[in-house]
Amino acid sequence: MELPGHRVRAGLEAALREAVQSGRLAPGTRLPSSRALGADLGIARNTVAEAYAQLVAEGWLTARQGSGTRVAGTGAVSPAPAGTLLSPGAREPRYSLRAGSPDVSGFPRAGWLAAARKALSAAPSQALGYGDPRGLPELRTALAAYLARARGVRASPDRIVVCSGFTQGLALLCQVLPDHGVTRIAVEEYGRPGPIEGLAGSGLTAVMLGVDDGGAVLDPAPGAEAMLLTPAHQFPLGSVLSPRRRADAARWAAASGGLIVEDDYDGEFRYDRQPVGALQALAPEHVVYAGTVSKTLAPGLRLGWLVLPARLAGDVASAKARADAHTSGFEQLTFTEFLTSGAYDRHIRRARLAYRRRRDRLVDALARHAPGVRVTGIAAGLHAVAELPPGQREDQVVARAAARGVAIEGLGGYALRAHTRGPALVIGYAAPPEHAYTSALARLTAALGDTARMAHVLSTRVDLTHGPLAL
């Protein structure tokens, strides 16, 4: 193994990384001690130890007390050539920093199991039969109390319909809205494509609203009878609907008889400011409040709810009955116990602290290793927007991150019309399990460094034909 004398540690890291990537060092292979390898190569022991530590941080190696340093047991993902996208049949990157998912490894299994046992032991037999399509009365009563306390929602149990997550809730609304005179609905120009596709499939026409630092720009929304908003934390840009616009939205709905659908997808997670109460409280007869446990607990539970104006409650309940009769009674019983026992609040507090720490680690890593990146939208939620410096492109960073085994998304993928903002990444910091988060951040910042160096090379027009370039 030949090491360039002026960059001994970097050369050792590169040689070991290549050996793992190519398979010459198989998963589980135990490496020599730092003292032994240093003696073999004629370099300082500390140099080897530092190289090992860097590769552990990147996920290529593992180190445990008493068992030495080994090649990561799951094996590394061989990177695609730099600057290329993975083909549809390619293996999914090892680490995901995509937005939209919580850390499911942190699901409170013991607490949920205890709640399930207690709930099922106490439940009357009729609770396991065909129930009210709106949901179990016990759960709707508990939700009304929780939402009033935690989110400022003005709700009564008879106005709540329990559904299988936000996707089904929106689909139920789409079925009934045309009968209430809604044919055009205004949506934020940056968001997930799924809801827009659902609206189109129901025959509703989407009208785009701009988004800035004050949230959705409500004027103009030509001819729209309804709005779909994320006012507490715009997805994905992270801005909060300003107080003036909140008041304007409520006045518009009351004066025109219009409807606002409030997607409060991560309302429980606030870090640097007081929680912003639900918009629904300003105009409860003109706002549908949509909530879910997909971010607070796990998307696999498929539990959500709609708090509805009186004029819509019966029709949405009927649509729910036609769709699937009712949401699983087992999950409803368990969540009722989990909620009323205080276990849900305790879980939220623990998760909020853990996610805040992860956010801080992301911000710190970008500040140290990618100082040209500006991070926004981080006062709340489970994701951040990283605005790229001039000369960097979203697709190039996404491809280089994939080559390093990290799945990441560009902001342009959330543009529902032309992508008019500068290049940026949407980084989810909740999903990777804690043991993988450090490696995911190291690989992401390395990919940003790769792209920055390439941009510098192109901007200075270096002639690579004159010899190898030391970056």
pLDDT in tens, 62-106: 887 777 888 886 443 333 333 334 444 456 788 999 999 999 999
What lies within 8 Å, CB to CB, of 14 at 6+ separation is none
> Which of 39-43, 52-56, 59-63, 430-434 has the lowest average pLDDT?
39-43
Q: Look at residue 86 in the predicted model and tell me its pLDDT.
A: 41
Looking from the CA of 173 toward its CB, the CA atoms found within 13 Å total 34
Average pLDDT, stretch 348-363?
96
Q: Look at residue 82 in the predicted model and tell me its pLDDT.
A: 35
Q: Express each pLDDT in 337-348 by its tens digit.
A: 999 999 999 999
Residue from 341, 331, 333, 327 nearest 122 by CA = 333
Res 39 pLDDT > 70: yes
DSSP conformation letters of 248-280:
HHHHHHHHHT-EEEEE-TTTT-B-SSPPPPPGG
Res 37 pLDDT > 80: yes
DSSP conformation letters of 204-215:
PEEEEE-EETTE
Res 457 pLDDT > 60: no
Burial of 380 (0-12, 13-18, 19+ CB in 10 A): buried
Q: Express each pLDDT in 362-403 by its tens digit.
A: 999 999 999 999 999 999 999 999 999 988 999 999 999 999
Q: Please, which pLDDT band fits residue 467 given cuts at 50, 70 and 90?
A: very low
- Would you state the structure tokens that stand for residue 326, as one six-digit string? 């009712």
Q: Look at residue 394 in the predicted model and tell me its pLDDT.
A: 94
Q: For 78, phi and psi rounded to 5 degrees?
A: -65, 130
Which residues on adjacent β-strands are paired with residue 267?
Answer: none
In the chain the domains, ranked by start, together with CATH numbers, are 5-75 (1.10.10.10), 95-101+346-465 (3.90.1150.10), 108-341 (3.40.640.10)
> Which of 83-92, 374-383, 406-415, 443-452 has the lowest average pLDDT?
83-92
CA distance 287 to 250: 8
Whole-number mean pLDDT of the chain?
87
Average pLDDT, stretch 246-268?
94
Is there a contact between 425 and 409 (Cβ–Cβ < 8 Å)?
A: yes
Burial of 165 (0-12, 13-18, 19+ CB in 10 A): buried
Is there a contact between 185 and 199 (Cβ–Cβ < 8 Å)?
A: yes
Res 113 pLDDT > 90: yes
Return the amino acid letter for 224. A
Q: Look at residue 163 in the predicted model and tell me its pLDDT.
A: 97
Res 213 pLDDT > 50: yes
Q: Look at residue 194 in the predicted model and tell me its pLDDT.
A: 87
Report the percent of the chain where pLDDT is more than 70. 89
Could you give the residue ranges of the DSSP H alpha helices within 88-222? 109-122, 137-151, 165-176, 193-201
Q: Look at residue 7 in the predicted model and tell me its pLDDT.
A: 60
Handedness of CA 46, 48, 50, 53 (dihedral sign): negative
How do 406-407 and 95-96 pair as beta strands? parallel
Is there a contact between 191 and 166 (Cβ–Cβ < 8 Å)?
A: no
Q: Look at residue 224 in the predicted model and tell me its pLDDT.
A: 93
CA distance 348 to 374: 28
Q: Express each pLDDT in 144-190 by its tens digit.
A: 999 999 999 998 999 999 999 999 999 999 999 999 999 999 999 99
pTM of this structure: 0.77
Res 53 pLDDT > 90: no
